[in-house]
Chain A
Amino acid sequence: ETGVTQTPRHLVMGMTNKKSLKCEQHLGHNAMYWYKQSAKKPLELMFVYNFKEQTENNSVPSRFSPECPNSSHLFLHLHTLQPEDSALYLCASRGPQETQYFGPGTRLLVL
């Protein structure tokens, strides 16, 4: 366990559904990240939050909407997704020496 948890671990949703991914860290870190990992592609940074403020939106479509109510929690709200959005979504928090600690990920399948 790295101290970063994500729920759900697996999610199947239709293109018209609305769902949310949750990330929680108990490491006392102040920066949190969302990444997308697709097959045969490098890890893609989606969003960065520092002290609850969004500091990076890496050209992510608006059907992905992040929320960071406090330094320990991060959400990714999903709506009207496309099949190509199927991927592993990883949350991370940033600790000492800029090392990022990753959660177990949510495996998302969009039908």
Chain B
Amino acid sequence: ELKVEQNPLFLSMQEGKNYTIYCNYSTTSDRLYWYRQDPGKSLESLFVLLSNGAVKQEGRLMASLDTKARLSTLHITAAVHDLSATYFCAVVVIDKLIFGTGTRLQVFP
């Protein structure tokens, strides 16, 4: 059974701190996505990682992919309140996206 697991499920962090969210998946996939969802809102695409070793950065967020370990990370640098949201990773299987359970991030002063 295909599983996409994220940890932690909930993360409360102070502004200015760094932290990493992990995404493990159980099947072969060379493509991984990160999405952000604000409360009551839809999902917004953050990153598309297309190959082993891919690294992408946007502002305070950096995502990486290790297809051999079936692991992706989303690193947060010097967190700010605006980053508070739920973050989902997803892997593609044929034409379907299989989503992780999500990591709810809260950044406090």
Contact = CB atoms under 8 A, between A and B. Distances in A.
Contacts of A100: 33, 45, 97
Interface residues of A, number: 23
B55 to A, nearest CB: 16
Given A99-B33, A99-B45, A55 B50 contact: no
Interface stretch (B58-66, B76-84, B98-106): B98-106
Interface string A5-39: 00000000000000000000000000100000000
Interface stretch (A41-49, A59-67, A68-76, A79-87): A41-49
B13 interface: no
B42 A104 contact: yes
Contacts of B97: 45, 98, 100
Contacts of B50: 97
A50 interface: yes
B42 A2 contact: yes
Given A2-B42, A99-B45, A105-B42, A42 B96 contact: no
A42 B41 contact: no
Q: Which of A50, A56, A98 has most chain B Cβ within 10 Å? A: A98
A97 B48 contact: yes
A41 B9 CA distance: 11
Contacts of A98: 31, 48, 92, 95, 97
Contacts of B100: 42
B88 interface: yes
B102 A42 contact: yes
B69 interface: no
28 contacts: A2-B42, A2-B44, A31-B95, A41-B101, A42-B101, A43-B43, A43-B88, A48-B95, A55-B95, A56-B95, A90-B42, A90-B43, A94-B95, A98-B31, A98-B48, A98-B97, A99-B33, A99-B48, A100-B33, A101-B45, A102-B42, A102-B43, A102-B44, A103-B42, A104-B41, A105-B41, A105-B42, A107-B40
